[in-house]
Structure 1
Amino acid sequence: MMRAIVTGYSSGIGQAIAELLENNSYEVVRLKSRLNEKKTLEKELKEELKKADIHLLINCAGVGVFKPHEEISIDKIQELIDVNLTAPIILSNLCLRSLKKTKGHIINISSIEATRHSKFSALYTATKAGLRNFSLALFEELRRSDVKVTNINPDLTKTNFFDEFNFEPSENKQAYLNPENIAKQVLEIIEFDGVITDITLRPQRLEIKKK
């Protein structure tokens, strides 16, 4: 059975991906360590890799903040960097020897904000653009080892990501993506005979409502 590590599996896009993979004969490893607890995360992951190699790493966990940069606390700045950028880089580092054995695949869930420059998104954009560029550079590094690397940039998606914000996608079904459809796209990327290195997923309409 193919083994996959999926972060952010408890809700939203990560949950949809984990469930779809399990329905397609994958064993999904759900790490319990918090992504900003680096030593604990490293220890848990190494224990998992002793059991068996993995074929797929999907870095899906993410946090956001959208407000004037001077209003963001130092702790929040560090949290976004840790979860959105540092953790995927560390997990990729720890999993690469295993992925090289299985000729596996790394998929990083970035954001539409990695491709543009939006007001009140400087910090979030920095972390997601960093993840996107990490993915693209890592693909070039790993081409000869046959490890695939894909970066996905989803636009507005109907999840609890917006719970703490003062805005969210409108109720118009053409104005947001569903986690289940993103998960289906992930499966198609995995099964593609080649490498999709970078893909942006967008709803047809742009409609945001304030809470």
Structure 2
Amino acid sequence: MNAIVTGYRSGIGKAISEKLQENGYNVIKLQSRLENVTSLEKEIKDILKSNDIHILVNCAGVGIFEPHETISISTIKKLIDINLTAPIILTKLLLRSLKKCKGHIINISSIEATKHSKYSALYTATKSGLRDFSLSLFEEVRKDGVKVTSINPDITKTDFFDHLKFKPSEDKEAYLEPELIAQLVLDILKIDGVVTDLTVRPQKFKIEKSVPKK
């Protein structure tokens, strides 16, 4: 079966891509930048000429956690484009193929989609939008046999935090591993029913200050 996983170069997306490949899935790796809609649309059309898509995992994401008035307009646009607009557009471009295959869409949202945190208004808006898009889309396409899942991971130890002012604690009970999320994706794909919404959290909440990488 063919799968498209965005964000496959690092973090959770890389772990999901590798887990799917290890279990016999053919992962098609997009080369277009998700913000470039024209290029993305052309690439998807070219892929669909010779491939059906059975699984779409929207995993690419960026974060910023700063006072809202300090965030540049270009950064606001980039965050919305990558975290929310790109998954919605990709889903639109692939939906007919996914319906044909009775496929599965898995959107990697965030714990922030389920709560409200200081300095997270922009990020939360994008991830809440993605989660609600997932839940609403399922009601639309369930009659066509398409499954839609939103996974909302809490703090996960990846390079997501390289450019932020905080990072997971070294306490192993205070963060998730990307391989855990990848295994959950595989498990969700195998069950007969539909997991529409899944939140995963570590046992403890502990973060540390860090210096963002340039």
The answer to whether the aligner puts 1:120 opposite 2:146 as a matched pair is no
Query: How many residue pairs get matched?
Result: 210
Deviations 1:24-76 (A, max 9, x none): 11000100000000000000011011111010000000000000000000000
Equivalence map 1:1-211=2 (5 Å): 2-211=1-210
Structure 1 ranges of 4+ moved more than 3 A: none
Whole-angstrom CA distance in 1 between matches of 2:16 and 2:101: 20
Q: Which runs of 5+ in 2 are unaligned?
A: none
For 1:137, the aligned partner's letter is: S
Deviations 1:3-24 (A, max 9, x none): 0000000000000000000011
Whole-angstrom CA distance in 2 between matches of 1:20 and 1:52: 21
Query: Percentage identity across aligned positions?
Result: 67
SS at match of 1:134: helix
How many Å apart are 1:143 and its aligned residue? 1.0
Whole-angstrom CA distance in 1 between matches of 2:108 and 2:139: 18
SS at match of 1:28: strand
Q: Which runs of 5+ in 1 are unaligned?
A: none
How many Å apart are 1:139 and its aligned residue? 0.1
TM-score (norm 2): 0.98
Whole-angstrom CA distance in 1 between matches of 2:50 and 2:182: 26
Whole-angstrom CA distance in 1 between matches of 2:147 and 2:49: 22
SS at match of 1:108: strand
Whole-angstrom CA distance in 2 between matches of 1:156 and 1:52: 35
Whole-angstrom CA distance in 1 between matches of 2:165 and 2:6: 26
Deviations 1:80-123 (A, max 9, x none): 10000000000000000000110000000000000001000000
